Amino acid sequence: MTAVDGDVAVPVAPISRRPVQIRELRIWGTTLRVGVWPGSARRAPLLLFNGIGASLELLGPFADALDDVELISYDMPGTGESGLPPIPYRLWMLALLTDQLLDELGYDRVDTLGVSWGGGIAQQFALQNPRRCRRLVLAATCAGVTMIPPKLSVLTKFMTPRRFNDPDYLASIANEIYGGDVASNAEALGHFKRTRYAGYLLQQLAIAGWTSLPWLRLVRQPTLILAGTDDRIVPPGNADLLAWAIPDSRIHRFDDGHLFLITDPASSAAVIDEFLSTPDS
């Protein structure tokens, strides 16, 4: 895998077994690290929004499992290898930024997947771009502050990005906060990469007070809602709340925890692929 820096190809550590093209785009006064996994031109590309604090590396196992769909993702401003933004941002601003990013990359219509924190941006992007977003996948996510909350002992461990920067700490709390198969899947935890406190704080501020519940009835894209039955961060009842609010939606549950996209990427990719490949009505 190579990163494109101007006209110079720079070798970087692999994100996935599947080839990925890394570029840096200058948008809205900051540099965004963007990853594109090339795929079939016969299918709509899939735009991925990651969880809080996570960089492209966390998507590697899922990208490998969904091997014929073109994937697009980027490190959020201040996260991973993207630069800090000149001002704090809200989710509606990230939706606008993403719209411009797709223009820069030459994409027209895309499917959209948001996981956990990234599910908030995915909902916002679908609302603001009804023609550009064809289908919506919401994985281990909720409607914002109107969510069914996790235990306080779990929530407090998300106040800082320590789990990204301290592998021993992550291993000690992974089962408590993520649930499912993560305790027996050390390889999954190896995809967590260091992140910055400033970028993590910006992501917390972006979603503070945000809720989609008042306007989810306006989301008209066919929507697949994925939930883990042992999700300790986003209790599974949140999937029912999203399905109740989004008109054209369906739920699929995994017997797993919050990280089913990386602890069981094959099953996750199979369900998502079936949904995305179903012909439009």
Task: Indicate which residues carry an active-site annotation.
Answer: 116
- Taken in order 83, 20, 189, 13, the sign of the CA dihedral is negative
Q: Measure Cα distances from 11 to 35, 38, 100 in Å.
A: 14, 18, 27
Residue 160 three-state SS: coil
- Distance in angstroms (rounded) separating the CA atoms of residues 43 and 93: 28
- Burial class of residue 167 (count of CB atoms within 10 Å of its CB; 0-12, 13-18, 19+): middle
Q: How many C-beta neighbours within 10 Å does residue 124 have? A: 26
DSSP 182: G
Element (H, E) at 93: helix 91-105
Going by the DSSP 8-state scheme, the letter that residue 264 receives in this structure is S
